[in-house]
């Protein structure tokens, strides 16, 4: 085998080897033992007492509360609300045992407020639970918020993060609580730590978001020159940054039922264009407008993952920018690694076959995502 063909074979194995791995790995919803989730907590209060609104993934919550299958397998919103109502004590026991508020270093007493609600985040149903925390002690104390929701020890979840938005003790901001750092003391959360946590959250979202990775990969396959990569990536970055910031701050609100199928469709369009290209850029002069439009949609998807929707503040803006910067840095790292490999592949005699071998699985999986994400009446 010639040196050139040997190099081609190695590069092809590196790139294609990652595709089946991504395809055969089940999505979190499909394999409970491999589920990841993010809990969301909005914590507000004036004086000592606190109100907490928690958004927790419904099926994981019902499993964690050790309820029967009829509870955690409920799919219709009406039945989910019914299950939350009849199992209120079990759910409250689990949640208040793992989410705590303290004041003057003394635990506050939680009480459920009103009935639970259910809303959709992305594709998953989340239970919306409200609790009032009665805190003893006079003014001048400092609150502490702790979360141990959905720990790895429960075996069907891992790497849970609790995204906290707070307006307490004269402070406003956002924080990410994880197993290694489960407690936030208001006023003791440095800006540098906030930047790091939301930067890592953005990087993880891109790395573990197969749809966003597939779209980026499809764009790289279709690019012919480094200039094409730079211009295309810049258009995608500008577009998704615009809608990410607008949607995350509540200026734009598009339902996930619309956003998620369109994200899948965007991958299909770009990947099919690569298949039809035959060595040419089939999108041609439409490449940048198409990438920009689809970038706007992907930005809505990024915002849905973070789901911070409240009035602007420096603390909020810092979290949003850090999250977006994590996405951008990871995207650039992926481009820096993959594009040189793709350049080598284009020089091989079987370059067209390689493009097809990569694009066909991408199209197939994206078609599945597209139809799976279209909400159908039950």
Instruction: Answer yes or no: are the C-beta atoms of 275 and 363 closer than 8 Å.
Output: yes
**pLDDT per residue as tens digits for the range 224-244:** 777 777 777 788 888 888 887
> What's the pLDDT score for residue 329?
87
Query: 3-state secondary structure string, 251-314?
Result: CCCCCHHHHHHHHHHHHHHHHHHHHHHCCCCCCHHHHHHHHHHHHHHHHHHHHHHHCCCCCCCH
Q: Are residues 215 and 73 in the same domain?
A: no
CA distances from 323 to 170, 198, 214 (A): 24, 5, 20
Q: Are residues 266 and 209 in the same domain?
A: yes
Which residues are CB-neighbours of 308 under 8 A, at least 6 positions away?
163, 165, 174, 248, 249, 316, 319, 320
Q: Are residues 230 and 176 in the same domain?
A: no
Residue 133 lies in a domain: yes
Closest among 312, 29, 305 to 176, alpha carbons compared: 305
> What's the pLDDT score for residue 53?
96
Closest among 222, 197, 233 to 328, alpha carbons compared: 233
Q: Which of 189, 224, 257 is the last residue of a domain?
A: 189
The rounded distance, in Å, linking the Cα atoms of 93 and 28 is 25
Residue 326 lies in a domain: yes
The whole-model pTM stands at: 0.67
Instruction: Answer yes or no: are the C-beta atoms of 195 and 185 closer than 8 Å.
Output: no
Q: Which of 161, 189, 217 is the last residue of a domain?
A: 189
Torsion angle in degrees (nearest 10) through CA of 113, 115, 119, 121:
40
Closest among 66, 64, 54 to 99, alpha carbons compared: 54
**pLDDT per residue as tens digits for the range 313-366:** 556 677 778 888 888 888 888 888 888 887 777 676 666 777 777 788 888 888
Residue 363 lies in a domain: yes
Residue 293 lies in a domain: yes
Q: Tell me if residue 25 falls in helix, strand or coil.
A: coil
Residue 81 lies in a domain: yes
The rounded distance, in Å, linking the Cα atoms of 193 and 239 is 27
Q: Are residues 78 and 142 in the same domain?
A: yes
The rounded distance, in Å, linking the Cα atoms of 48 and 136 is 7
Residue 378 lies in a domain: no
Task: Look up tokens 């190695």; give the residue.
Answer: 10
Structural domain count, the chain:
2
Q: Are residues 175 and 230 in the same domain?
A: no
The rounded distance, in Å, linking the Cα atoms of 221 and 360 is 12
Instruction: Answer yes or no: are the C-beta atoms of 118 and 58 closer than 8 Å.
Output: yes
Q: Are residues 209 and 69 in the same domain?
A: no
The rounded distance, in Å, linking the Cα atoms of 217 and 270 is 10
Backbone angles phi, psi at 113, to 5 degrees: -120, 120
Residue 233 lies in a domain: yes
Q: Within the chain, which residues score under 70 in pLDDT?
A: 1-35, 122, 189-191, 277-286, 304-316, 346, 348-351, 375-378
Q: Are residues 52 and 22 in the same domain?
A: no
Opening angle at CA 309, ends 305 and 310, nearest 5: 155
> What's the pLDDT score for residue 183?
92
219: containing domain:
3-29+204-373
Residue 197 lies in a domain: no
């Amino acid at each position: 085998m010639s040196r050139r063909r040997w190099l081609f074979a190695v590069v092809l194995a590196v790139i294609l080897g990652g595709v089946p791995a991504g395809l055969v790995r089940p999505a979190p919803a499909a394999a409970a033992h491999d589920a990841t989730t993010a809990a969301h907590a909005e914590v507000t209060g004036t004086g000592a007492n606190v109100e907490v609104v928690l958004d927790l993934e419904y099926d994981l919550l019902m499993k964690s509360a050790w309820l029967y299958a009829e509870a955690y397998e409920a799919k219709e919103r009406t039945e989910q609300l019914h299950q939350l109502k009849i199992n209120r004590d079990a759910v409250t026991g689990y949640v208040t045992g793992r989410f705590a508020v303290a004041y003057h270093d003394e635990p506050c007493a939680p009480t459920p407020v009103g009935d639970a609600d259910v809303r959709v985040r992305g594709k998953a149903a989340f239970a919306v639970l409200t609790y009032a925390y009665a805190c003893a002690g006079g003014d001048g104390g400092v609150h502490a918020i702790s979360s141990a929701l959905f720990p790895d020890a429960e075996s069907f979840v891992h790497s849970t993060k609790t995204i906290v938005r707070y307006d307490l003790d004269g402070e406003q901001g956002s924080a990410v609580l994880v197993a290694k750092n489960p407690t936030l003391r208001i006023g003791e959360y440095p800006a540098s730590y906030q930047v790091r946590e939301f930067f890592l959250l953005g990087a993880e979202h891109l790395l573990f978001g197969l749809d966003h990775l597939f779209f980026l990969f499809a764009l790289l396959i279709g690019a012919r020159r480094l200039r094409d990569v730079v211009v295309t990536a810049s258009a995608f970055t500008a577009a998704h940054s615009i809608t990410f910031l607008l949607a995350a701050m509540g200026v734009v609100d598009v339902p996930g039922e619309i956003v998620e199928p369109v994200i899948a469709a965007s991958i299909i369009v770009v990947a099919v264009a690569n298949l039809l290209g035959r060595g040419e850029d089939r999108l041609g002069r439409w490449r940048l407008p198409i990438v920009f439009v689809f970038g706007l949609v992907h930005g809505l998807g990024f915002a849905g993952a973070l789901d911070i929707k409240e009035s602007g503040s420096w603390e909020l803006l810092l979290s949003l920018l850090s999250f977006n910067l994590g996405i951008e840095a990871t995207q650039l790292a992926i481009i820096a690694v993959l594009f040189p490999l793709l350049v080598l592949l284009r020089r091989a005699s079987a370059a067209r076959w390689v493009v097809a071998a990569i694009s066909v699985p991408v199209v197939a999986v994206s078609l599945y995502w597209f139809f799976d994400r279209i909400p159908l009446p039950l």
